[in-house]
Amino acid sequence: MADMQLPFTHEQFLDVFEAYNNALWVPALFLWLASLAIVARWLRDPDSGGPWLTWLLSVHWLWSGGAYHLAFFSDINPAALAFGILFLLQGALFLWFTRTRRRLHFNPSTSAWGIAGLVLVAYSLLYPLVGMGFGLEYPRMPTFGVPCPTALLTAGLLILTTPRAPRALFVIPVAWAAVGGFAAFELGIRADAMLVVAGVAMVARIIFRGPARPLYLSESAPHRGDPNGSA
């Protein structure tokens, strides 16, 4: 990757975000608020909130593929067409898991996987603020609904699945973590450096399985494995 050169400049990259934010700030804001609400519900009650997360991930990938890659990023990067198709494919995969009996189960826990996953989820939700903290100014900055926070949110949730999500769901997020992590250093978008951590975490999760001890944030929620809900 060290020998790769991007077909656009740092300023052209920020121009794309400016156009995206000016045109789509309302749905991007709605997506952010919906993401906060769904994650909060899931943390209060993982059983009822979990299925909503799969829908949320599907929407994120479909939106990033169509509204960002195909509609805006393709203006400066010929590869955006391929990226967009891959993102739409990932969104379709998550959508399929909302329609099948093989549901994804996301379990917040106090294990190492649980802590890593929750950190990545929180980082993705705070992503616009992190970018501002690194000196970027709105609207010339990545906000929400664009590929990198989408990949970070996905990484955090996938490593929290118990049992582990199918490997097929990891392939495109891991690939984007590599592409976005490289671009983070080439373009100086320091908030995206977390993609390197996310990529390593996903690869480790594919290789290693670890037990997850559920951590319920609601005192009234029962503990898994105990039908009476007692400790």
**129-146 pLDDT, tens digit each:** 999 999 999 999 999 999
Q: Quick one: average pLDDT of 12-21?
A: 97
Q: What pLDDT shows up at residue 194?
A: 97
The pLDDT of residue 112 is above 70: yes
Q: Quick one: average pLDDT of 7-31?
A: 96
pTM beyond cutoff 0.85: yes
Residue-range domain boundaries for the chain: 10-207
Bridge partner residues of 214 (DSSP): 109
Q: CB neighbours of 66 closer than 8 A, spacing ≥ 6? A: 84, 87, 88
Q: Quick one: average pLDDT of 189-198?
A: 96
Bridge partner residues of 109 (DSSP): 214
Q: Quick one: average pLDDT of 156-184?
A: 93
Q: What pLDDT shows up at residue 224?
A: 43
Q: For residue 214, which phi and psi values (nearest 5 degrees)?
A: -55, 140
**pLDDT band for position 209 (50/70/90)?**
low
Please, are residues 170 and 201 in contact by the beta-carbon 8 Å criterion?
A: no
Q: Quick one: average pLDDT of 209-220?
A: 44
Amino acid at 111: S
Task: Count CB neighbours of 36 within 10 A.
Answer: 11
The pLDDT of residue 128 is above 70: yes
Q: What pLDDT shows up at residue 99?
A: 84
Task: Count CB neighbours of 30 within 10 A.
Answer: 12
